[in-house]
A and B are shown apart, each in its own frame.
Chain A
Amino acid sequence: MILTGPEITAAARDGRIRITPFTPAQVNPNSYNVRLGPLLLVYTGDIIDPFQPNPTRPVPIDEAGLVLQPGELYLGHTIEEVGSDVYVPLLFGRSSVGRLGLFVEITAPIGDIGFHGQWTLMLTPTRPLRVYPGMKIGQVMFFVSSGARDLYCGKYQGSAGPQPSRYWHDIRPDLRREAS
């Protein structure tokens, strides 16, 4: 079951959902619109390797916007901190953004119950596309869960700003360049 807009508003008010800042105008019939933050990260190495930290460089988006290029991976973030200890959040791009050919996340829409923080966006345009800070870029939906809850306490808890993949964090140091 998916929460309706009025239920999202009620849950944001009574604490079942935490959205900071919360703006009632960003509530949709079944979701909440989240906005693009002003900072992106891009990887600087030739090859991305999950078994080791990958260097990144910051790319700020100023008020005049920034043109995203196809073939590049931009890690962005939501302005809003979004999470819930009760419901499972799912993040998708807005259809208005999809119609511009922009992927907002990469096959990882599912949040964990108990995660709270800014969400990292994985922006990949189909064609060159100008984006602006503060634009409404994605939608978070909330699903009812079934079963006892065990809250998220993983490595991205409390994220602020875009987060590069910390896959390597889970690899034992002696195995960081070899498969487990």
Chain B
Amino acid sequence: MILTAAAIRAAQLSGDIVIDPFEPGRLSPNAYDWRLGEQIRVCGGILDAAAVTRCEEHRIPAAGMILQPENLYLGLTWERTCSARYAQLLNGNRDTGALGIWVHVSAPLGHVGHAIQWTLEIRVVRPVRVYPRMTFGKLIFLQVHGDHDTYQQPSAKYAATAGIGLSRLHEELTAPVQETSHDQHHHAAGRHRGRSAVRIARRQRRAPARPVHRPVCAAGRPGLHARPCR
């Protein structure tokens, strides 16, 4: 079930949802209208899933910055959001969509327990100007069904991201294989410089009785009021 504005507000007051900074006027009938942050990273050229992404970080000027269709941009939500109770879906809205702006690349889900500013994967259809702290999309909250698990676990790559997160897929592509089976090896021929083969790490298998860690919502941006997330 999707939370209505009244339910989001009630959960925010009780601490089940943390949105920081929170402005009640940004609640829409079934979402919170989040904003683009002030920093952006520009990724041009050829990206390699097995290598660290090279990109330049810029501050978006108050007069705006023109995004170009040929680039991938990594941005950040202005708000830091957290919920140990609800899953979250982050998307654009009709305004940004009709401007030809994708705010993520097919990965809208925030897991229960995720407690970060969201890294955005921004693409545009045509050149478009964006402004710091402009309203950029909608965040909805979903009730979960079943036993709770949380993203706050040591193996979760992005559980404690500070700032704009780069893809860390390369860690999975280069990590040593602990237990192997024949279908979990991928050999790439010559494409990856200096590596004869790239091994796909075994996926972290879910432990059945992992202790639940409460997300630590206090590690926010400096100067912002942080509240405990229950």
* Main SS at interface, chain A: loop
Contact with A along B95-133 (1 / 0, CB 8 A): 111111111100010000000000000000111111111
How far is it, in angstroms, between the C-alpha of A152 and the C-alpha of B104 when the chains are bound?
A: 25
B49 proximal to A (CB < 8 A): no
- Tell me if B143 is interfacial: C-beta within 8 Å of chain A: yes
B95 pairs with A50, CB closer than 8 A: yes
A108 & B64 in contact (Cβ 8 Å cutoff): no
- In Å, the complex CA distance between A82 and B142 comes to 22
**B residues in contact with A120, CB < 8 Å:** 94, 97-98
B39 within 8 A of A: no
Give chain B interface residues in 61-111, CB to chain A under 8 Å.
62-64, 66, 69, 89, 91-104, 108
Among residues of A, the one whose C-beta sits closest to the C-beta of B10 is A147
B103–A110 touching, CB < 8 Å = no
Q: Within the complex, what minimum Cβ distance (angstroms) separates B159 from chain A?
A: 24
Query: B135 on the interface (CB 8 Å rule)?
Result: yes
Of B30, B93, B135, the residue contacting A113 (CB under 8 A) is: B30
Interface membership of B177, Cβ < 8 A: no
Task: Kindly supply a per-residue 1/0 record for chain B positions 1-25, scoring 1 wherever the CB is within 8 Å of any chain A CB and 0 otherwise.
Answer: 1111111101000000000000000
CB contact between B62 and one of A108, A150, A156, A179 (< 8 Å): that residue: A179
**Which B residue's beta carbon lies closest to that of A166?**
B95
Judge whether B29 and A113 touch: CB under 8 Å. yes
Decide: A47 and B7 in contact? CB cutoff 8 A. no
Of the listed residues A50, A71, A148, A156, the one surrounded by the most CB atoms of chain B closer than 10 A to its CB is: A50
Contacts of B134 in A (CB 8 A): 50, 167, 179-180
A47-B127, A49-B64 known; A110+B140 contact, CB < 8 A: yes
Alpha-carbon separation in the docked complex, A106 to B136 (Å): 12
Q: How far is the CA of A65 from the CA of B130 in the complex (A)?
A: 34
**B41 interfacial contact with A, CB 8 Å:** no
Contacting A at CB under 8 A, from B166-183, are none
A122 within 8 A of B: yes
Is there an interface contact between B30 and A107, defined as CB atoms closer than 8 Å?
Answer: no
- Pairwise interchain contact B129-A48, C-beta atoms closer than 8 A: yes
Closest chain B residue to A87, Cβ basis:
B2
* Interface contact B100-A145, CB-CB below 8 Å: no
Query: Does A124 reach chain B (CB closer than 8 Å)?
Result: yes
Contacts of B8 in A (CB 8 A): 147
Are B1 and A1 in contact, with the CB atoms below 8 A? yes
For A54, the chain B residues whose CB sits under 8 A away are 99
Q: Does A109 interact with chain B (Cβ within 8 Å)? A: yes
Partner of B64, one of A113, A163, A179: A179
Q: How far is the CA of A71 from the CA of B68 in the complex (A)?
A: 11
A67 → B minimal CB distance (Å): 17
* B-side contacts of A108, CB under 8 Å: 91-94, 96-97, 137-138
Q: Provided the pairs A47-B128, A88-B2, A143-B1 are in contact, do residues A106 and B100 lie with their beta carbons within 8 angstroms?
A: yes
CB-based contact B2/A146 at 8 Å: yes
| A47–B92 CB distance below 8 A | no
In the assembled complex, A164 has its CB within 8 A of some CB on chain B: yes
B1 touches A165 (CB 8 A): no
Q: How far is the CB of A74 from chain B (nearest CB, A)?
A: 9
Q: Which chain B residues lie closer than 8 Å to A112 at the CB level?
A: 28-31
The CA-CA distance from A166 to B64 in the complex, in Å, is 17
20 interchain pairs, CB-CB under 8 A? A50-B128, A54-B99, A71-B125, A88-B30, A106-B100, A108-B138, A110-B91, A112-B28, A113-B30, A120-B94, A120-B97, A122-B97, A124-B125, A144-B1, A145-B1, A152-B28, A165-B98, A179-B63, A179-B132, A179-B133
Query: Can you list the 10 inter-chain pairs with the closest CB atoms, starting with the nearest?
Result: A147-B7, A108-B97, A147-B4, A165-B98, A107-B92, A148-B6, A106-B97, A167-B95, A179-B131, A73-B100
Chain B positions within 8 Å of A, measured between CB atoms, are 1-8, 10, 28-31, 62-64, 66, 69, 89, 91-104, 108, 125-135, 137-138, 140, 143
